[in-house]
Amino acid sequence: MRVSGQDVLGPDGGALRLRGTNLGGMLNMEHFVTGFVATESQMRASLLDVLGPERYEMFFDRLLEALFSQADAELLAKLGVNSVRVGFNYHHFEDDHQPFVLKPEGLARLDRIVDLCASQGIYSILDFHALPGGQNAGWHADNPTHLALLWQHRHFQDRAIWLWEILAQHYKDNPWVAGYNLLNEPADPTGKAVAAFYRRLVPAVRAVDPNHLLMVDGNRYATEFDIFDEPWDNTIYTCHDYCGASLKASGNYPGLTDGEWHDAKTLEAKFLERSAYSRSTGTPLYVGEFGPIYTGEAGRDQQLYQILADQLAIYRDHGAGWCTWMYKDLGRQGLVGVKPQTAYRHQFDGFVAKKRRLATDAWGTDFSQIADLLDPIVRLVKHEFPDFDGYPWGTEYWVQTLIPHIVFSQPMVGEYAAAFAGLTQEQLTALADSFALSNCQVRENLYALLAHDLEDA
């Protein structure tokens, strides 16, 4: 594939609008996807203590195979997507205590996904979702702190560049890899470190692989692109386009959410703001992540489907490619979700309910469950530090996420792992296999909306 003006040209030379979904929660696991708490590394370390090395490896090998198999690739091909974005965590490729030492099993796991998708005519976009040190402060960067240390330590940056050089060498001749999404959702409060890092990273990757597409996220979680000057050759500048009214159970559409009006016009205005750099430079428009968080309440979910339909129409009108967040989870957001009668749901639904009560998963909560605790702290911080503006989304969100994600989540890690203690190999297998497509149900309304947009593919 190559960029030609605002078009992406496929292998046959014709224009190709990349449309697909994110395979989140696999090679970079997130707490709301598979029900654990805190970060993937913290969860894995606790499970290793409980299960021991052999049973630990068996469980995660089985889980990764269940999360995406031939059946999943076939479902996506039937839906009509032409691409998937495959997020990965650096821990699959190296250990912190052995930096710059490649773990070949990481490449094997990524190869398996690329090959499964290729077998169905689906391209893969390789998405570096969790970098050494953390490129943002989020749980989805496997970051147990509230600091994005990638931007403060060249050592972390050198390791990220080293890994991309290896990946570029490995995939440079693979036609089923559409491109390299160099880092997911960077967030640097200074606005200076991200551009400087890209200026090192892009030439390093290009020296190894001059041909594949590069996909570059803007700063502040892929929403700000004023850090860039002239565009690089054969590069797509990818924005993420979440709507505030689609991320909270208490939202309203069309209408007010947290005092802000949301409708189709405001959706388009926000998309045009986030894609302004691509439009001004004449480069392709592409949304790397978007999508509502569903509630299970018919009336509210109908509003959320309308948001999605309006966004798809906007992208179609502007010729933008897109990639929904996401494919498979426990039922909060995925195109498919694990059925309630599975072994995993039986084992962990109570634990997930406790997480919701304590708002440990910021993704999809309005924090009302613990408002009596958080609201006084928000007021105190705003009163004592009136000039402070918590990065990246303001002081209120800064307090709301920091306390549940660290103070509440980290003590719960051991509680999650303890639920695995004493389980037989057969029981562990049943837990992992709960995520197999045969044990999942399709979100039919979402499938229909996406299928309708993909009909002209």
For residue 140, what are its two tokens?
A: 């989805």
Which of the following is catalytic: 289, 384, 396, 415?
Answer: 289
CA-to-CA distance for 78 and 125, rounded, in angstroms?
Answer: 19
**185 given a catalytic annotation:** yes
**Degrees to nearest 5, angle at CA 318 with 18 and 320:** 20
CA-to-CA distance for 361 and 354, rounded, in angstroms?
Answer: 11
323 - beta bridge partners? 20
**57 given a catalytic annotation:** no
Residue that is written with structure tokens 């997507």 in the block? 81
Q: Which long-range contacts (CB under 8 A, 24 or more apart) does 268-275 make?
A: 268/314, 270/241, 270/243, 271/239, 271/241, 271/311, 271/314, 271/315, 271/318, 271/320, 274/218, 274/222, 274/223, 274/225, 274/239, 274/240, 274/241, 275/239, 275/318, 275/320
Which of the following is catalytic: 30, 40, 94, 185?
Answer: 185
Query: Which uninterrupted H or E stretch holds 49?
Result: helix 40-67
Query: Which uninterrupted H or E stretch holds 156?
Result: helix 154-171
| CA–CA distances in Å: residue 8 to residues 95, 201, 218, 254, 336 | 36, 22, 19, 33, 29
Give catalytic residue positions.
185, 289
